[in-house]
Amino acid sequence: MSSNGADQDAANRDVVSAAAARGPLAMEAVSISKDFRLGHATVLHAVREVSFALYRGAVVALVGESGSGKSTVARLLAGQERLTSGEIRLDGNRVDPSTRRSFRRYKSHVQLVFQDPFSSLNPVHTVRHHLERPVRLHQGRKSRAEVAGEVGTLLDQVRLIPAGQFTGKYPHELSGGQRQRVSFARALAAKPAVLLADEPVSMLDVSIRLEMLSLLNDLRNRFKLALLYITHDIASARYFADEVLVMYAGQIVERGPAEELTQHPAHPYTQLLVASAPDPDNLGGTLRASGTSFRSPGAGTPGAGQPAAAAAGARAQAAATTVRGCPFSPRCPLADDRCRTDAPALLPVSAGRAAACWRLDVAAPGVLAEGRGGL
Amino acid sequence: MNPTAPVLDISDFSVVYRTPGGDVRAVSDVNLALHPGEVVGLAGESGSGKSTLVYAACRLLRAPALITGGSVTYCGRRAAGPTDVLQLGGHELQQLRWREIAMVFQSAMNALNPVLNVRDQITDAIHAHLRMSRGAALKKAGSLLDLVGIPRGRLRSYPHELSGGMRQRVMIAMALAADPEIVIMDEPTTALDVVVQRDILAQIVELKEQLGFAILFITHDLSLLLELADRIAVMYSGQLMEIATATAIHRQPAHPYTRGLLNSFPSLHGPRRELAGIPGTPPDLRHPPAGCPFLPRCGYGTDACRTVDMRLERVADPAGLEHLTACPFVRPDTPAPDRPSTAAGQELPA
């Protein structure tokens, strides 16, 4: 495992992040891991040797299904969980947010926005209260008028206009979109360099999502935020992110520039994600033509209950215990004997791209050929 | 499209919520028909009244919700004749629900009883609605699980021991227990991952082909309906804006709101498009504006929209299929307006 980790490290250094062109390095996760103990004998490896970097003004998307460990990565970066191993660097310095004081200082650089705007705001406090507190905590001594002015500016920045109409409101008086704007404003109150957004739009209506993403986009440009966008919606990552990291069972299985990765996915898991996204241009194609034409590998068919159970079980199992081989191998249509015994390292495949797969020659010959030409 | 009589016919249907601050007109004069074996998608954002419409039509709402007008007629293969759902008494309703019209709710975790295992869960439902011996009900429960691809060993599992996808499959299995004519699905896959979502949708389509029920599918995700549904009804602020086949909605959308929805979701396949979204928020239904409720958010709007009658009108459809829109001004061939329809004005980076 450790030699494997070193390999991955090397691979990550070889791959120039697609986000790097946007601005200076803000934050780095170096081979971070997180284990959770489940009972005395079982350990859940929620995050395994994950490395990536966030750059000012750039969006990195972390894509994966529930249980893949993407939210744990956000919590680790936000200092809400302690690392099992690895380190987090902020502006090149290793951070250790273990004491209260250093944690607070850390929080003024790194802010987290949660998925659920309905539970992340306190129902008994007004919008003003939600915003005044972080302003007082993070922006030093200010007079009452200055704080009020700052709250107005924050609401303005997230386009809750006119600000005066919103300061006295309670969360239940706001729509989901408005609440999420308050969450953004609260994060901005600390004047952070890094914003970690954990599924910031997936609880919102489709018609509002775009507006929220464009607001986030506007904020990152305006404040040169280094943004980590965590999502299970790979289509939004295509439009919004510079670089996409695909996570499966606690590991990054593929990374690359957003457009290239989504249009020419190399890893079989990424290919499955892309194939599963609704495709309106393929009207009634895969779903309706014949119900059985599309099935994700390993999902099984009705009647043959066993494979379905195996797939569902495989997911939990992959994360829970030390699996030998590639974590995706139980669901992968291309898996061979080596996949089941040796874990593939995340290796460069072409400019800015890396994938952890033994069978790339079969899974993505086009991407590989391009890589050989380019490297 | 379907020469047969509709299995469910909702006409001129209106629902209000009585509140101290006045009536909230959640559903106004909706006409919607569901034909045997058909998949109709009902799309709209939260608060558009899509769930209220369907729940009220199945008599699942109680005060302060109040049905103020219209009729709901059910006409199944097993029924002697058309039934007026709004006139049914308690016992007859019991007969209708589950046997004729079954429901799959959004949140399987909350819809399943956490202290009952899957077997008791399913047999409970069977005993409540069908006359069946205990042994037969157990057998039925097993075969229902087979139907949705869950191993029978899971009969003894409790809801918390199942993954989200499996729970939703159990819900679907339960809905199919009495071989219903109509299955109503209220955002059955919204809480699930894309991969699982796709598996479940494929399964639903397969079961539909096999068993021949009709589906009324409620969701805010239009992109999903484009692939899944035969016809799509787009709802906004308690009214239907447009009804057409999925192909027509996708290729020749007429109503500006439908166009806005189509322009709201990033697509993974095909070239990158410029996304506009829909600026603003839906109107307050306590004080609905005169004329078109979408006007404040509409890029095509003119003064004439303030007095427009929101009646569904036919538009010419190349395939000759029914295509109705509530907007008298914009037709499928109307070009997009010059002025940007986004108040926000920001585009995602190209």
What pLDDT digit, counting tens, does each position of A299-329 carry?
333 333 333 333 433 444 444 455 678 989 9
What pLDDT digit, counting tens, does each position of A18-33 carry?
788 888 999 999 999 9
Pick the closest to residue B188 from B105, B98, B101, B112 (CA basis).
B105
Q: What are the domain boundaries of chain A?
A: 1-109+192-277+349-375, 121-191
Give the C-alpha separation, B265 to A208, whole Å. 10
Which amino acid does the sequence have at A129? H
* Both structure tokens of A299: 């999902």
Q: What is the mean pLDDT of chain B?
A: 85
User: In this predicted structure, what is the pLDDT of residue A3?
Assistant: 46
* Both structure tokens of A123: 């129902």
Give the C-alpha separation, B340 to A233, whole Å. 27
User: In this predicted structure, what is the pLDDT of residue A14?
Assistant: 58
Whether B147 and B176 have beta carbons less than 8 Å apart is answered as: yes
Q: B264 contacts in A (CB within 8 Å)?
A: 206-207, 209-210
A286, B227: Cβ pair inside 8 Å?
Answer: yes
* Both structure tokens of A255: 């990374």
Q: How far is CA B51 from CA A85, B37, B106, B187, B188, in A?
A: 48, 21, 11, 10, 13
Q: A214 contacts in B (CB within 8 Å)?
A: 277, 342, 344, 346-348
B348, A274: Cβ pair inside 8 Å?
Answer: no
Selecting from B194, B209, B275 the residue whose C-beta is nearest the C-beta of A239 gives B275
CB A365: neighbour CB atoms within 10 A?
A: 11
Distance from CA of A122 to the nearest CA of B (A): 22
A207, B246: Cβ pair inside 8 Å?
Answer: no
Pick the closest to residue B214 from B158, B170, B176, B160 (CA basis).
B176
Q: Is pLDDT at B343 greater than 60 in this prediction?
A: no
Res. A150 pLDDT band, cuts 50 70 90 = very high
Which amino acid does the sequence have at B65? A
Distance from CA of A261 to the nearest CA of B (A): 11
In terms of C-beta density within 10 A (0-12 exposed, 13-18 middle, 19 or more buried), how is residue B288 classed?
middle
User: In this predicted structure, what is the pLDDT of residue A168?
Assistant: 92
Instruction: Report which of residues B244 and A5 the model is more confident about.
Output: B244
CB pairs under 8 A between A and B: 183
Give the C-alpha separation, A72 to A26, whole Å. 20
Q: A275 contacts in B (CB within 8 Å)?
A: 198
Res. B302 pLDDT band, cuts 50 70 90 = confident
| Strand, helix or coil for residue A255 | strand
A373 contacts chain B (CB < 8 A): no
Q: A302 contacts in B (CB within 8 Å)?
A: 146-149, 203, 206-207
User: In terms of DSSP bridges, do strands B39-43 and B214-219 run parallel, antiparallel, or are they unpaired?
Assistant: parallel
CB A254: neighbour CB atoms within 10 A?
A: 29
Whether A77 and A47 have beta carbons less than 8 Å apart is answered as: no
Pick the closest to residue A183 from A198, A168, A162 (CA basis).
A198
Distance from CA of B223 to the nearest CA of A (A): 6
User: In this predicted structure, what is the pLDDT of residue A32?
Assistant: 94
Bridge partners for A111 per DSSP:
A195
* Both structure tokens of B98: 């589950």
Give the orientation angle of helix A206-223 with respect to helix A176-188, to 10 degrees. Answer: 20
User: In this predicted structure, what is the pLDDT of residue A300?
Assistant: 33
CB A220: neighbour CB atoms within 10 A?
A: 23
User: In this predicted structure, what is the pLDDT of residue B77?
Assistant: 79
Whether A281 and A260 have beta carbons less than 8 Å apart is answered as: no
A180 contacts chain B (CB < 8 A): no
* Average pLDDT of span A365-370: 80
What pLDDT digit, counting tens, does each position of A261-307 carry?
999 999 999 999 998 887 766 655 556 543 333 334 333 333 333 33
| Cα-to-chain-centroid distance, residue A156 | 27
Selecting from A235, A283, A305 the residue whose C-beta is nearest the C-beta of B146 gives A305
Output the pTM of the full model: 0.81
Q: What is the DSSP string of B154-182?
A: GGG--GGGS-HHHHHHHHHHHHTTT--SE
What pLDDT digit, counting tens, does each position of B249-299 carry?
988 899 999 998 888 888 887 777 777 778 777 888 888 888 888 988 888
Bridge partners for A1 per DSSP:
none
- A:26-85 residues touching chain B, CB 8 A cutoff: 65-66
User: In this predicted structure, what is the pLDDT of residue A289?
Assistant: 43
Q: Is pLDDT at A137 greater than 50 in this prediction?
A: yes
Pick the closest to residue A250 from A84, A108, A127 (CA basis).
A84
* Both structure tokens of B129: 């609605």
Q: B252 contacts in A (CB within 8 Å)?
A: none
Report percent pLDDT > 90 for chain A.
45
User: In this predicted structure, what is the pLDDT of residue A13?
Assistant: 54
* Average pLDDT of span A90-101: 79
Bridge partners for A244 per DSSP:
A61, A256
| Cα-to-chain-centroid distance, residue B293 | 21
User: In this predicted structure, what is the pLDDT of residue A299?
Assistant: 36
Q: What is the DSSP string of B235-280?
A: EETTEEEEEEEHHHHHHS--SHHHHHHHTTS--SSSS--------S
Pick the closest to residue A61 from A201, A233, A215, A218 (CA basis).
A233
User: In this predicted structure, what is the pLDDT of residue A372?
Assistant: 64
Q: A278 contacts in B (CB within 8 Å)?
A: 221, 223-224, 226-227
Interface with A, mutate which of B40, B155, B172, B194 (most A CBs under 10 A): B194
Q: A220 contacts in B (CB within 8 Å)?
A: none
A143 contacts chain B (CB < 8 A): no
B148, A288: Cβ pair inside 8 Å?
Answer: no
Residue of A nearest to B163 (CA): A312
Q: Is pLDDT at B3 greater than 60 in this prediction?
A: no
A215, B346: Cβ pair inside 8 Å?
Answer: yes
* φ, ψ (nearest 5 deg) of residue A61: -100, 135
| CATH architecture entry for B1-100+181-350 | 3-Layer(aba) Sandwich (3.40)
In terms of C-beta density within 10 A (0-12 exposed, 13-18 middle, 19 or more buried), how is residue B48 classed?
buried
Q: Is pLDDT at B5 greater than 90 in this prediction?
A: no
Residue of B nearest to A234 (CA): B268
- A:9-28 residues touching chain B, CB 8 A cutoff: none
Respond yes or no on whether the N-terminal peptide bond of residue A162 is cis (omega within 30° of 0). yes
User: In this predicted structure, what is the pLDDT of residue A48?
Assistant: 92
Kindly give, in sequence order, each residue whose CB lies less than 8 Å from that of residue A222, ignoring residues fewer than 6 positions away: A157
Interface with B, mutate which of A158, A173, A207 (most B CBs under 10 A): A207
Q: What is the DSSP string of B278-324?
A: --S-PPPTTSPPSS-TTGGG-SS--GGGGG-----EE---TT----E
Q: What are the domain boundaries of chain B?
A: 1-100+181-350, 110-179
Instruction: Report which of residues A1 and A342 the model is more confident about.
Output: A342
Res. A7 pLDDT band, cuts 50 70 90 = low
| Strand, helix or coil for residue B209 | helix
Pick the closest to residue B218 from B38, B52, B39, B42 (CA basis).
B42
What pLDDT digit, counting tens, does each position of A224-263 carry?
999 999 998 898 999 899 999 999 999 999 999 999 999 9
A271 contacts chain B (CB < 8 A): no
Q: Rounded to the nearest 5 degrees, what angle is found at the Cα of A90, between the Cα atoms of A214 and A97?
A: 105
| Strand, helix or coil for residue B31 | strand
Residue of B nearest to A204 (CA): B46
A176 contacts chain B (CB < 8 A): yes
Res. B21 pLDDT band, cuts 50 70 90 = confident
Whether A256 and A265 have beta carbons less than 8 Å apart is answered as: no
User: How many CA atoms, within 13 angstroms, populate the side-chain half-sphere of residue A282?
Assistant: 15
Q: B266 contacts in A (CB within 8 Å)?
A: 210, 235-236, 238-240
What distance separates the 2 farthest-apart alpha carbons in chain B?
68
Handedness of CA A135, A136, A138, A140 (dihedral sign): positive
Res. B22 pLDDT band, cuts 50 70 90 = confident
* Average pLDDT of span B312-336: 83
- A:277-306 residues touching chain B, CB 8 A cutoff: 277-288, 291-292, 294-296, 299-306
A288, B347: Cβ pair inside 8 Å?
Answer: no
Residue entry with tokens 């506007």: A218
Kindly give, in sequence order, each residue whose CB lies less than 8 Å from that of residue A334, ignoring residues fewer than 6 positions away: A268, A359, A362, A363
- The torsion of the CA quartet A143, A145, A150, A152, rounded to 10 degrees, works out to 160
CATH class of A1-109+192-277+349-375: alpha beta
* Both structure tokens of A295: 């099935």
* Both structure tokens of A290: 């014949």
* Both structure tokens of B64: 């302060």
Whether B211 and B176 have beta carbons less than 8 Å apart is answered as: yes
Res. A367 pLDDT band, cuts 50 70 90 = confident
User: In terms of DSSP bridges, do strands A243-248 and A59-63 run parallel, antiparallel, or are they unpaired?
Assistant: parallel
B97 DSSP assignment: B
